[in-house]
Amino acid sequence: MRGMGINTAHFEGIFLLTLVAAVSSIAVVSNVIELPAPMILGAFTVIPIVIWMVARPPLAIAFVFFCFFTNAQQVFSLVHGFDYLTELLLLLLVVLFVNDLSQRRLPGATCGIFASLLLLNAAFVLLQVSFGAGMQFAVEIIKHGLITLIVLILLIDIPRIKGALAGIVLALAFMSGISVIQYIFDLYHLSFGGFGAATYHHIVGDVDYWRIDGPLTDPNYYAQVLLISLPFAIMGAARSASIVWKILCVIALCAGVAALLLTYSRGALIGFAVLVVAYSYGRWRLLLFTGAALSLLLFAVDGSYLERLSVASSDIIALLRSEGYLQDTAISGRLSEMVLAIYLFLEHPMFGIGVGQYEGLYQDAARHFGLMARGADREAHSLLLELLAERGLVGTLIYLLTAGGALFCALRARARGGAATPMVRALLYALLAYASTSLFLHEAFPMYLWLLIALCFSVAQIAPLSTSAQAREGDLWTYEDETEGGGYASH
């Protein structure tokens, strides 16, 4: 607003005074119509915060990413009975968009490309609905895509993208901090308002113990979210010029790795190993040091984790040798789920069985093909196989075209260089982490990938402006090389 000659402080002051008057009126009326006290308290606290964030878009975007990465919308719905957080976040994004339009801040060219890909995805899933697929799954996919499009439209400069990354790091610190506290003080029975769920699982052999689910409903997906968040904490710890932010990123990084191990997720540990190798490429001393540190952490957390990995390794070797006997029933079950996905794809190669249909078909189809029915509806447990089974070749290619477009945008932004380069590198590592863990996980929480896609498209449209003075305003963090080279000033 400074560029338009409007005093932001006056703007906020007028709105806050108007808000106080309006809420006071509501408080008086509530005595007559008996509105609940929490509603009045919410008006006094939440609405001023929202107005304050609208006046500071990077902060609002950080809040939105924090909510999505902590899965706050599902936590508030399942634990607290509040089902409208997603709609409120969407409303906040729309208000920011309208505010941008009023200031003639228009979206970049990549928004049009993503919108075209989104329409292609929407057209395909709606076509599947016409063939009998579930409408609710199509609506969910379209809703996630629309939210991503609005987020992408708003990510038009570096301060806002840094706000998004700050939200991810804060979410990592929040979630993993709760997990570490649960482990240290043995507080697994407390859910911490739904953000620290833990369930008792079979670990290996005769060992049963707690596996931390965090704010999600499954420890494996919680581990995946932690893993894709780690590169942004590494970036902040290594590159930030702010001592406070650097310390916070280090804390988030350490707690995140510890929380990842507390999930006992073997797939996530493989993804973590892939990430370590990628970071250490050409720096073998770093690889050896990280490997040694990870081994010590595994022993420190629980020796049964190593035994769990050993059993998995033995089963994989037995599978490759066609020996036929697998010790771990979880691996046997997942193998059946993956094989069934291949069978269903071969039966419906072009358009698949329909989005969201695999789970309901699993038991009958597994019995038909002589696989483990497992006594419950199951998912494919592999993103690629799930796509092939449910969407066929056509739908999978459309999906991969969207993800590939995002990757191309990120690589293009990296090739251009500039101040956005550290963010782009962290984003590429996050995509690598997601891809490696998705080999063993289906798409139960798609919003995380959609947000990474939004960031990929956004860095491409701001890369040419990455050395512009306009990025100085509203910056939430900065990098050491930017302050030295005359880049952005940190506020």
The distance of Cα 476 from the centroid of its chain, to the nearest Å, equals 20
Q: What is the mean pLDDT of residues 122-131?
A: 81
Q: What is the mean pLDDT of residues 237-256?
A: 90
Examine the domain organization and report whether 142 and 282 are in the same domain: yes
Examine the domain organization and report whether 89 and 12 are in the same domain: no
Examine the domain organization and report whether 12 and 61 are in the same domain: no
Contact in structure between 213 and 198 (CB atoms under 8 Å): yes
pTM of the model: 0.84
> Which of 307-316, 335-344, 406-415 comes out lowest in average pLDDT?
307-316
What are 217-236's pLDDT values in tens digits?
Answer: 899 999 999 999 999 999 99
Residue 441 has pLDDT above 60, yes or no: yes
Cα–Cα dist 66/171, whole Å: 5
Cα–Cα dist 457/158, whole Å: 13
Cα–Cα dist 292/300, whole Å: 12
- Is residue 489 one of the residues assigned to a domain? no
Residue 56: count of CB within 10 angstroms of its CB: 17
If one compares 473 and 182, the residue with the highest pLDDT of the two is 182
Cα–Cα dist 172/65, whole Å: 11
Whole-number pLDDT of residue 318: 60
Question: Among 55, 75, 91, which residue terminates a domain?
Answer: 55
Examine the domain organization and report whether 377 and 418 are in the same domain: yes
- Is residue 490 one of the residues assigned to a domain? no
With b for 16 or more beta-carbon neighbours within 10 A and e for fewer, the 89-128 pattern comes to bbebbeebbebbeeeeeebbebbebbbebbeebbebbeeb
If one compares 178 and 102, the residue with the highest pLDDT of the two is 178
Examine the domain organization and report whether 207 and 339 are in the same domain: yes
What are 44-88's pLDDT values in tens digits?
Answer: 556 666 777 778 899 999 999 999 999 999 998 998 888 888 888
The angle at the Cα of 165, spanning 159 to 167, to the nearest 5 degrees, equals: 105
Contact in structure between 304 and 312 (CB atoms under 8 Å): no
Question: Among 11, 38, 55, which residue terminates a domain?
Answer: 55
The distance of Cα 410 from the centroid of its chain, to the nearest Å, equals 17
Contact in structure between 356 and 390 (CB atoms under 8 Å): yes
Domain of residue 5: give its range.
1-55
Coil, strand, or helix at residue 147? helix
Whole-number pLDDT of residue 293: 65
- Is residue 345 one of the residues assigned to a domain? yes
> Which of 26-40, 92-106, 336-350 comes out lowest in average pLDDT?
26-40
Cα–Cα dist 254/233, whole Å: 9
Examine the domain organization and report whether 102 and 174 are in the same domain: yes
Tokens coding 414: 């990296």
Contact in structure between 297 and 289 (CB atoms under 8 Å): no
Whole-number pLDDT of residue 22: 53
Whole-number pLDDT of residue 378: 83
> Which of 28-37, 153-162, 234-243, 346-355 comes out lowest in average pLDDT?
28-37
Examine the domain organization and report whether 132 and 63 are in the same domain: yes
The distance of Cα 100 from the centroid of its chain, to the nearest Å, equals 25
Could you tell me where the DSSP H helices lie in 240-356?
243-262, 266-280, 284-301, 303-320, 329-347
**Domain count within the chain:** 2
Band of the pLDDT at 335, cuts 50, 70, 90?
Answer: confident
Examine the domain organization and report whether 20 and 154 are in the same domain: no
Band of the pLDDT at 251, cuts 50, 70, 90?
Answer: very high
% of the chain beyond a pLDDT of 90 = 35
Determine the residue type at 41: L
What are 415-427's pLDDT values in tens digits?
Answer: 887 777 889 999 9
- Is residue 457 one of the residues assigned to a domain? yes
Name the most confidently modeled range: 201-205, 286-290, 320-324, 451-455: 451-455
Tally of helices (H runs) and strands (E runs) in the chain: 19, 2
- Is residue 376 one of the residues assigned to a domain? yes
Whole-number pLDDT of residue 356: 84
Examine the domain organization and report whether 41 and 146 are in the same domain: no
- Is residue 149 one of the residues assigned to a domain? yes
Residue 36 has pLDDT above 60, yes or no: no
Examine the domain organization and report whether 352 and 409 are in the same domain: yes
Tokens coding 304: 């049964």
Residue 246 has pLDDT above 70, yes or no: yes
With both helix axes pointing from N to C terminus, report the angle between 219-239 and 447-462 in degrees, rounded to the nearest 10.
30
Residue 259 has pLDDT above 70, yes or no: yes
Place of tokens 């043995």: 186
Examine the domain organization and report whether 431 and 311 are in the same domain: yes
Tokens coding 157: 């400069």
Cα–Cα dist 220/223, whole Å: 5
Whole-number pLDDT of residue 410: 93
Strand partners for 479 = 240
Taking Cα atoms as reference points, which of 137, 126, 141 lies closest to residue 358? 137
Tokens coding 72: 């706050």
% of the chain beyond a pLDDT of 70 = 73
Determine the residue type at 371: L
Examine the domain organization and report whether 50 and 61 are in the same domain: no
Band of the pLDDT at 132, cuts 50, 70, 90?
Answer: low
Q: Which residues contact 475 (CB under 8 A, 6 or more apart)?
A: 58, 158, 159, 162, 488, 489, 490, 491
Determine the residue type at 468: S
Whole-number pLDDT of residue 426: 94
Name the most confidently modeled range: 8-17, 122-131, 407-416: 407-416
